[in-house]
Amino acid sequence: MSAMDDLLAFQRQTEALSSVAERLGWDQETVMPRGATEQRSEEMAAMEEVLHERRTDPRIGEWLAAAEPSTEAETRIVELINRDFTRACRVPSRLASEIARTTSLAQGIWAEARANEAPEDYLPVLDKVLSLKREEAAALADGGDLYDALLDDYEPETTGAEIATLFDAMRPRLVALREDVLGAERQPQQLDGHFPQETQLRLARVCAAGFGYDWTRGRLDLAVHPFSSGRWQDSRITTRVVETDPFNCLYSTIHEVGHSSYEQGIDDDYAFTPLGRGVSMGVHESQSRIYENQMGRGRAFTGWLFNRMSDAFDGLNIGDADAFYATVNRVAPGYIRTEADEVQYNLHIMLRFDLERELISGRLETEDLVEAWNARFLKDFGVAVDRPSNGLLQDVHWSVGLFGYFPTYALGNVYAGCLNTALRKAVPDLDESLARGDASPGVEWLRENLQRHGGLMPPRRLIEEATGAAIGPEPLLDYLEEKFGRIYGL
């Protein structure tokens, strides 16, 4: 056995174990009995300790030093293992455990504070999480920028400064579009009615199949917050059902199919290597967004969906497919990021991105966070936050230590905009299929040009090779202005 063989064999097992840990997370959110939390937390901790030991195993350093990769894929595998090994070794075990313990505690405190509208109960533990994450960032950054060191976990090879430039360029056009749309004379109808759970789920399965979800390698379950989980042959999705709002279930499903389809589409040869997963959170989100929005909320697909829903629910209060298209894409004022439409979503992200950068750099203190949040919301959205659960307390992310994660949502939208332009050019008759509820020509193009590569290329190179163009915000902004301009008669 060469050092390269040893390294690959060891990594294979680590990947398998990490896949087991992920499956345990799925179990917890979908099927686990509610009385099993204590047991599960001990099981997860044991898995995490095994994984941490493996990720910092000194033999990895020796194998890396002696490894002689012989293909492009092997070279990239060595690069990614080296990256993870270096990062894992930089964080002391003591700090890693303390972060795990504190964030687990903080998540509970956050949930209670949100229920009680009491940010003052949450801020002390958030402050503790923040200072631990800053300590982690300092260990990872090795003298570099703290925020970039955290961002690197979710979107490698991008910096906070670059994202700030990108977002600053986007904000004025998004704010203007939001104002035009909300002030427009023509306003879409709302969908009214009662939509039984079983029918919603049946339709969600039809949609998932239309977007190429492979049921032999996945399944659909209910969860409080929809997510996708797992890779390769076992990539599962979840959705939720609100019986007054079927779009919630249907578009959550299509969104998660985007994530899951990416994992299902990765080259089999990469299974159980660092290439066998989506390459970054931003690229992952680009897949979920282009499935959900550019394909799923387009005029063609919603035309098909109008007929299917009319049949399934014995008629709708919306008169025709054009009106239904407007309803699906209705823009309404709102405080909550997860409920935001395509126009406003990125503004929510920008707010969080700017605040978390300030927090990590130390320019903003947690005690001033509520005020900073509310001031910024008023400025960008034109309304005052009415209660803490509609403001700072709406997101779990920071409580569990996810700093540097939020911007990947908006990066995903930007990538989806770029990909959509290239896709429409490459598959000019895509809408003809979408009008039959069939997204397969789009899925196939994405699979061939992006998904199958897994982690083979860094995120930006992957998007640029797939699109044949530099990454920029214009395709997304042009698409949004064109689409919503038309719907709202601007």
For residue 179, say whether it is annotated as part of any ligand binding site. no
User: Applying CB under 8 A, does 94 fall inside the site for a copy of itself?
Assistant: no
- Closest to a copy of itself by CB, 218 vs 282, is 218
Sign of CA dihedral 118, 119, 123, 129: positive
Q: Which active-site residues does the annotation give?
A: 256
Residue from 1, 33, 94, 320 in contact with a copy of itself (CB under 8 A): 33
Binding mask 250-289 for a copy of itself (x = CB under 8 A): ---------------------xx-----------------
Segment 46-65, which members bind a copy of itself (CB under 8 A)?
46-47, 49-50
Residue from 70, 93, 233, 307 in contact with a copy of itself (CB under 8 A): 233
Q: How far is the CB of 61 from a copy of itself (least distance, A)?
A: 20
Residue from 3, 25, 29, 40 in contact with a copy of itself (CB under 8 A): 40
For residue 284, say whether it is annotated as part of any ligand binding site. no
Q: How far is the CB of 7 from a copy of itself (least distance, A)?
A: 16
User: Applying CB under 8 A, does 330 fall inside the site for a copy of itself?
Assistant: no
User: Applying CB under 8 A, does 216 fall inside the site for a copy of itself?
Assistant: yes
- Closest to a copy of itself by CB, 37 vs 307, is 37
User: Applying CB under 8 A, does 36 fall inside the site for a copy of itself?
Assistant: yes
Segment 5-24, which members bind a copy of itself (CB under 8 A)?
12-13, 16-17, 19-20, 23-24
For residue 225, say whether it is annotated as part of any ligand binding site. no
Count of residues that bind a copy of itself according to CB under 8 A:
38
Q: How far is the CB of 43 from a copy of itself (least distance, A)?
A: 5
Annotated binding site: which residue ranges? 255, 259, 285
**Which segments are annotated as binding site for Zn(2+)?**
255, 259, 285
Q: Which spans of this chain sit near a copy of itself (rule: CB under 8 A)?
A: 12-13, 16-17, 19-20, 23-24, 27, 31-40, 42-43, 45-47, 49-50, 214-219, 232-234, 236, 271-272
